[in-house]
Amino acid sequence: MKNKHNQQVKIKTLNRFDMSNFDVSLQQLNDLLTDESGFYSWPTKHFHEVYPRIYVGNAFVATNAMRLKRLGITHILNAAEGNSYMHVNTNAEFYAGTGIIYHGVPASDTDHFDISVFFEEGADFIEKALAYKNGKGKVYVHCREGYSRSPSLVIAYLMLRQNLDVHTALAMVRQKREIGPNDGFLRQLCQLNQRLAAEGRFWNK
């Protein structure tokens, strides 16, 4: 599956704050994603509800408008917009006539891709989706497999809008669905964690 390295990527603590509780390593996050033998699991279902009214899933369901309607999905966040084999080639026109509101992010599932530039954009869209029709919206966040890109955006949403630290957010999603964001994405979530901790966003937790 994924070639994981054992080296730890330590986040530097900032002198101004005691951030010992938020000193996160890549290895710690990977430990949350694997079983006791160190193995990653592939998703057992096409999609899972990982947080109230937030669904993470694959392209199979994303391209089935009837199934989305039966689920009551009001919004789609495609974390893999594009037309290569790594991407899912949908757009707003694809959902025309369904009433589903679409947003696309052209992320690639590689260690060196900077998905963090879409963290705020994705969080904004998810937040608006959940507020839709007085809190009745449901958002389906997907990539090709619902394994790396889409859960990364949902974890960032939980950190940015629900004030969860990266451990809690990642563990919450992993508890509901088998996921495995690549190491580059995990590092970017660690960096987001560092920034939010420095801003005091987790102090009430």
For residue 169 the two structure tokens come to 């957010």
Convert the pLDDT of each residue in 30-85 to its tens digit. Answer: 999 998 888 999 999 999 999 999 999 999 999 999 999 999 999 999 999 999 99
Q: Answer yes or no: is pLDDT of 113 > 80.
A: yes
Residue 171 has pLDDT above 80, yes or no: yes
Enter the CATH code of domain 47-198. 3.90.190.10
pLDDT in tens, 145-170: 999 999 999 999 999 999 999 999 99
The answer to whether the CB of 167 falls within 8 A of the CB of 177 is no
Nearest CA to 142 out of 70, 56, 82 is that of: 56
- Hey, which residues are catalytic here? 143
Q: What is the mean pLDDT of the chain?
A: 89
What are 59-65's contacts with CB under 8 Å, separation 24+? Answer: 59/88, 59/142, 59/143, 59/144, 59/145, 61/140, 61/142, 62/88, 62/90, 62/140, 62/142, 63/88, 63/90, 63/94, 65/95, 65/98, 65/100
Q: Is the pLDDT of residue 8 over 60?
A: no
Residue 204 has pLDDT above 80, yes or no: no
Residue 20: which pLDDT band, with cuts at 50, 70 and 90?
A: very low
* Banded model confidence at residue 1, pLDDT cuts 50, 70, 90: very low
pLDDT band at 9 (very low <50, low <70, confident <90, very high): very low
Percent share of the chain, pLDDT over 70: 87
Domain boundaries, the chain: 47-198
Report whether 143 contacts 80 (CB < 8 A).
yes
Tell whether the model's pLDDT for residue 130 goes beyond 70: yes
pTM of the model: 0.88
